[in-house]
Structure 1
Amino acid sequence: MPVRIFATANCDDVVIFWRIDEPLADCWGFAVEREEKRGDGRVVRTVLDNRVGFKADKIKPGDRRPSTEWPFQRFSWADHSVDTGDRVRYRVVPMIHDGTHLKQNLAERSGWTPWLEVSSHAGSDAAVVFNRGLAISQFMARYLEKLRVDHGLETLKDALTYFKETLDDHELPIRRFLSGVLRTELLAVLQDARKKKQHVFGALYELADQELIGELAKFGSRGHLVLANGSIQQKKGETIAEARKRDENKAARTLLRGKDLEIHDRMIAPGALGHNKFLVVASGTSNPAPLAVWTGSTNWTKTGLCTQTNNALLVKNRDFAAKYLAQWARLRDAKSGFPAALVNSNATAKKVTLRSGKADIWFTRAPNGVDLAAIDEVVNGAREAVLFLMFQPGGTATLGSIRRRMQQPGRLYVKGVVSTLPPEHAADEKAVNVTTVGDARQRRLDLDVIQPEGFSTPFAAWAATVTRKEFLTTQGGVLGFAIVHSKVIVVDPFTNPVVISGSHNFSGSASRVNDENFVILRGNSELALEYAVHVLAVYKHYRWTAYVADMQRRHRRPFSELRESPDWQDGHLKGASKREIDFWVR
């Protein structure tokens, strides 16, 4: 029986799954073919490369070969080599070893998938975009080593410091690559609004990226910001009132006021965070009419754009935008406080019907955890799957709810990455002790929910990566506080799709202390699958690095060579691996 295949895309990646009903005789893996439909009508066929080879090929760092030579011994692949605007389709071919050579089994190969467009569009009124902020990666390992050598730097830390400094250069290729479609789409939103002489109303936590500040400056009096003071920490002997006079956004605040933008100070750190990252586009002059909203997890900084995993959601709907503009006005009027009127207004969801589904918009600080209860309702209502990315959620709020669902019967498909995993019962998201959790067999390393790790020892075709300690400034590193900064939950994308996304960290502090926003979007399968591709691509990436790091800690050699037999299939066609295949290939 031919291989069955499924593929789905977002603006930056394609995820491919395939399945067979029973092991194939003499199958040493699969080749994956891609066809791309060019603008001139030509169709170009490519065989995707594999980095894992056979032992006899004496693999060196950076080696790769077509999967007809080094077949994939797995049943899924994420194609990161596509670009926005590409139209592609895929086919999978079993590679059979006849005793001497590998040959394609054409009789059992899959059909072609439908044509996919690599695009941010997710329905008639929504778009979702992502960056490529995977600093713990093979690509960055090789880039940083070249940077170190080319500039005569002594250590990796020196190279990381230099790399971070260079990200201020707007034309730098690595900045453009890492910021990806997220940056280009945000610039397009700002430039289109300015060209049409529209207004923008932003509520921002951090504003330090010079390119984005420059674009905002061009709006002049048509730019309106509620600007927080970042994540100020109270110093020893300092009162909270004294600490709140300090401002991480001072340079941007001063410059934009000098360009005639309307800037409202929201100086609530320490003690709380003005953690929003939303922007409303509105038309008109004396009483601008809201048109669209840009929201999500991305801070307006070079690290938000380039070194953290982030997402953004653009919704073009007047009613939806009106709800965000009303919240902007409430924040403006609240100044640097939390009046009862503001908190009470956040007690219920703002409901909107979109052409692509239904939306419940939540703002915080909210009374009595009503926002977390709404998220729990979604998680507890999952019937097939929960996929997620989180920053620092704490152990007893949403992550705790997901853990409880994982312990229940029914084999819910769960895949997630948490930038910093807390102890299971920790209420404070600052606790950071546990490395991995999961719901399958009891074993030392369970990889359903993982924390990003790098590995410091090269092996086979893999270079040593930036490690977690070298990344996090809280552990003496260089790049920042967040590795995964997206805040996304996807539930049942095929059957009853729900997506939750915004600035909210799914934590108790986000609910009861901070300014936050998130939206629960129901009924848009296209949007849910695009977010699911993002989650899965990040998960597969960090699942591998977590596995390698764990093996190296135990002084064991990670999987790094293809098996020269068909036995590799056995472990993939049962248990959790088969459940994953069954979920994606229906």
Structure 2
Amino acid sequence: MDQVQLNVYCNTDDAFLIWRAGELENCIGFAIERVWLESDDGNRPLNQAEFLWNRVGFATDVGGGPDQRQPSDVWPFQRYSWTDHEVGFNDRARYRVVPMVGKPGALEPREEWASAWVEVHAVQPAGGRLSCFFNRPMAASRWMAKVAAEMEIETGTELVERISDVSSEFLRDFCGGSLIVALRQLFDNAGGNPDISLYAALFELEDEEVTQRFCDLGPRANIVLANGSTKVTEPDANAEGRAKVHAAGCVVIDRMTAAPRKVGALGHNKFIVVVDGDRPVAVWTGSTNLTPTGLFTQINNAVLIESAELATQYLAQWHRLAEAGSEAPSTLKASNAAPDAGTAVPANIEPWFTPTVKNADLKRLQALVEGAQDGILFLSFMPGPNGPVLDILEERAQGQFVRGVLNRFVGGADGALMAELVGGGKSDPMNLDVFTPSGIKHQFSFWAEEFMRGGKISVLVHSKVMCIDPFGAHPVVVTGSHNFSEMASESNDENFLVIEGDRSVAESYAAHIISVYDHYRWRQYVASTTAAGKQPWQKLDDKASWQKSRLNSAKQQAEWTFWMGSPGRPG
């Protein structure tokens, strides 16, 4: 197979490219060519081909240190996938991959081997009626290290303090990504239409901008407000925000279920129902707490679904929580014993609420995992020592394609890291495919020391997402506030959605998850290699032999099968 085969998967913030080729004679790597066809960014030239940049060069270039870059026809990519982070909402672009042959400094394209052009359009699924949004904090990154140095920010605590300030527009706009844009639009729509009311069930309300947005709505803002992550010295983490929304005349139901030093019973929801007049019309939900860290320094996601049916079901749950006050009556659990009716428009969506009984929600998640035909992508925060995430590891041990990032895997009496491959040897290195996030601690070669300086930056990945068989006959996305744990099932107020059969939604989440995975996969490799006393990969190879180890890799073959299907057909 000489001609490169290329697939591209896009959401409103990233485009993930993966390509397949056989061993190509004298190929030193691949250039990625892009043409902007439509863009809201007026600085982009349309209908002009350009090469994506690479920040890793050859041995002769190492001396220049970090922050170098060259177009990929000069410094080609010696790999078979790449994420273009420059894509944004409404952008339309096309890509192709071109093999580069020759010697460093004198490379030439082999046009006859180049892939066909592949076009993508960064729009929301279901004509915008089912929208998914992502933020882009990536605290462990070259970009954040550079920004922190320019702003003289030395610790994670200082970064959170700076980003909490609503005048820090640059940081908040960039790190909030499409998620903060969509949340602002939701409030703008409510603020500009006196018939609209919002019904929110919130774990945390600490961000100054969002709190003020609720206050501006006065009695049209109806909030079931929990007391967040409590401490002995702070039994109500939302005390300041609570006082503000009460004083502004919002309708506030104080749901004080959490107690310091006690596990569980968290009012952990993060959903908002939009009601127009007396008609529920839309639901906002996902993993994002309305705090500076949730919005801007942790990986999070949200969905906004225009569906009167689904909104009505979420509003009914809001009223059940409001009636419960600070209690968890058996009637609340009984009402959550099965999924709600859901909706078939704009997609097949099944909502679950907790606390429930007999782990009915976890059994549903386990069935979805066990039904995977091709593979599973996921992001998870504190999933607990058992449940569907451990089953995902079991699936991997049985040959399934699995890629994911765990922020923490807590279990056991001492709360230590607890995870191993079920069905594999005890020495199997889980972190090859499923790992906790880390950053580059020391500058080397083309890489800069990254911003990982303690303080309040303790959570890097907070999303709770599973994407199952995204390119198969039955794609599934699960997302919400639920941590896929027994505590979330039995003790907490939670919600999650099972979105089935919508490939465009699944592709959006797949592109997001793999961008996070690839970002931290490199950092995990650097950390583990350095800890073993070895030297991480430093530079581009100047010989075509770089291809052999990749092409002979079972892992590379598995990636191609998952993302592109069997050889000779598109994925």
For the superposition of Structure 1 and Structure 2, which TM-score range results when normalised by the shorter chain? Answer: over 0.9
Q: Pick from 174, 186, 193 the counterpart of residue 183 of structure 2.
A: 186
Residue type of the partner of 2:218?
Answer: G
Residue type of the partner of 1:577?
Answer: Q
1:522-571 superposed Cα distances (whole Å, 9 cap, x missing partner): 01100011011111000000001111111121222211201111111112
Distance 1:277 1:579 in 2: 36
Instruction: Report how far residue 17 of structure 1 moved.
Output: 0.4
Distance 2:267 2:457 in 1: 19
Question: What residue is the counterpart of 2:536 in the other structure?
Answer: 558
Q: Pick from 506, 515, 518 the counterpart of residue 528 of structure 1.
A: 506
In structure 2, relative to structure 1, the CA distance for the partners of 1:438 and 1:209 (3 Å cut) is farther
Distance 1:42 1:533 in 2: 24
1:431-487 superposed Cα distances (whole Å, 9 cap, x missing partner): 3425886999976574211110112111111111134xx3xxxxxx31244210000
Is the 8 Å Cα contact of residues 376 and 401 (structure 2) preserved in structure 1?
yes
Distance 2:431 2:271 in 1: 36
Question: What residue is the counterpart of 1:209 in the other structure?
Answer: 207
In structure 2, relative to structure 1, the CA distance for the partners of 1:403 and 1:100 (3 Å cut) is closer
Residue type of the partner of 2:15?
Answer: V
Percent identity between the two aligned chains: 37
Distance 2:126 2:10 in 1: 11
Question: What residue is the counterpart of 2:90 in the other structure?
Answer: 85
SS at structure 1 position matched to 2:432 = coil
Instruction: Report how far residue 299 of structure 1 moved.
Output: 0.3
Is the 8 Å Cα contact of residues 28 and 564 (structure 1) preserved in structure 2?
yes
Residue type of the partner of 1:170?
Answer: V
Distance 1:161 1:259 in 2: 29
Is the 8 Å Cα contact of residues 223 and 253 (structure 2) preserved in structure 1?
yes
Residue type of the partner of 2:562?
Answer: F
Residue type of the partner of 1:87?
Answer: R
In structure 2, the gaps of 5 or more residues are: 565-569
Q: 1:308 and 2:303 equivalent?
A: no
Question: What residue is the counterpart of 1:487 in the other structure?
Answer: 464
In structure 2, relative to structure 1, the CA distance for the partners of 1:434 and 1:568 (3 Å cut) is farther
SS at structure 2 position matched to 1:219 = helix
Structure 1 stretch displaced more, 437-446 or 479-488: 437-446
SS at structure 2 position matched to 1:368 = coil
In structure 1, the gaps of 5 or more residues are: 236-242, 471-476
SS at structure 2 position matched to 1:174 = helix
Residue type of the partner of 1:561?
Answer: K
Structure 1 stretch displaced more, 302-311 or 42-51: 42-51
Question: What residue is the counterpart of 2:272 in the other structure?
Answer: 279
1:148-178 superposed Cα distances (whole Å, 9 cap, x missing partner): 3xxxx7xx33xx3332211123242012100
Distance 1:447 1:289 in 2: 49
Instruction: Report how far residue 133 of structure 1 moved.
Output: 1.7
1:240-287 superposed Cα distances (whole Å, 9 cap, x missing partner): xxx8xx311111111111111100000011242100000000011xxx
SS at structure 1 position matched to 2:9 = strand
Q: 1:54 and 2:55 equivalent?
A: no
Residue type of the partner of 1:557?
Answer: Q
Q: Pick from 111, 118, 125 the counterpart of residue 113 of structure 1.
A: 118
TM-score (norm 2): 0.92
SS at structure 1 position matched to 2:151 = helix
1:244-283 equivalences under 5 Å are 246-270=235-259, 271=262, 272-283=265-276
Question: What residue is the counterpart of 2:567 in the other structure?
Answer: none
Is the 8 Å Cα contact of residues 145 and 451 (structure 2) preserved in structure 1?
yes
Is the 8 Å Cα contact of residues 12 and 80 (structure 1) preserved in structure 2?
yes
Is the 8 Å Cα contact of residues 306 and 346 (structure 2) preserved in structure 1?
no
Distance 1:222 1:445 in 2: 49
Residue type of the partner of 1:166?
Answer: R
In structure 2, relative to structure 1, the CA distance for the partners of 1:575 and 1:99 (3 Å cut) is same
TM-score (norm 1): 0.90
Structure 1 stretch displaced more, 544-553 or 165-174: 165-174
Is the 8 Å Cα contact of residues 419 and 483 (structure 1) preserved in structure 2?
yes
Distance 1:254 1:26 in 2: 68
In structure 2, relative to structure 1, the CA distance for the partners of 1:209 and 1:167 (3 Å cut) is same
SS at structure 2 position matched to 1:292 = strand
Is the 8 Å Cα contact of residues 183 and 305 (structure 1) preserved in structure 2?
yes
Question: What residue is the counterpart of 1:582 in the other structure?
Answer: 561
Instruction: Report how far residue 201 of structure 1 moved.
Output: 0.1
Distance 1:47 1:493 in 2: 29
Structure 1 stretch displaced more, 358-367 or 396-405: 396-405
In structure 2, relative to structure 1, the CA distance for the partners of 1:440 and 1:72 (3 Å cut) is farther
Q: 1:415 and 2:400 equivalent?
A: no
Q: 1:125 and 2:124 equivalent?
A: no
1:215-246 superposed Cα distances (whole Å, 9 cap, x missing partner): 111111111000000111347xxxxxxx8xx3
Q: Pick from 197, 222, 225 the counterpart of residue 224 of structure 1.
A: 222
SS at structure 1 position matched to 2:326 = coil
Is the 8 Å Cα contact of residues 142 and 463 (structure 1) preserved in structure 2?
no
Structure 1 stretch displaced more, 68-77 or 250-259: 250-259
Structure 1 stretch displaced more, 204-213 or 267-276: 267-276
1:289-328 equivalences under 5 Å are 289-328=279-318
Question: What residue is the counterpart of 2:198 in the other structure?
Answer: 200
Question: What residue is the counterpart of 1:238 in the other structure?
Answer: none
Distance 2:547 2:140 in 1: 29
Distance 2:105 2:515 in 1: 35
1:422-501 equivalences under 5 Å are 422=410, 426=412, 431-433=415-417, 446-467=431-452, 470=453, 477-495=454-472, 496-501=474-479
Distance 2:31 2:370 in 1: 39
Number of aligned residues = 550
Distance 2:387 2:545 in 1: 42
Distance 1:560 1:33 in 2: 25
Structure 1 stretch displaced more, 196-205 or 433-442: 433-442
Distance 1:320 1:435 in 2: 36
Residue type of the partner of 1:509?
Answer: M
1:68-112 superposed Cα distances (whole Å, 9 cap, x missing partner): 011000000001122222111110000011698211001100110
Question: What residue is the counterpart of 1:239 in the other structure?
Answer: none
Residue type of the partner of 1:535?
Answer: I
Distance 1:440 1:104 in 2: 44
Instruction: Report how far residue 120 of structure 1 moved.
Output: 3.7
Residue type of the partner of 2:228?
Answer: G
Structure 1 stretch displaced more, 549-558 or 493-502: 549-558
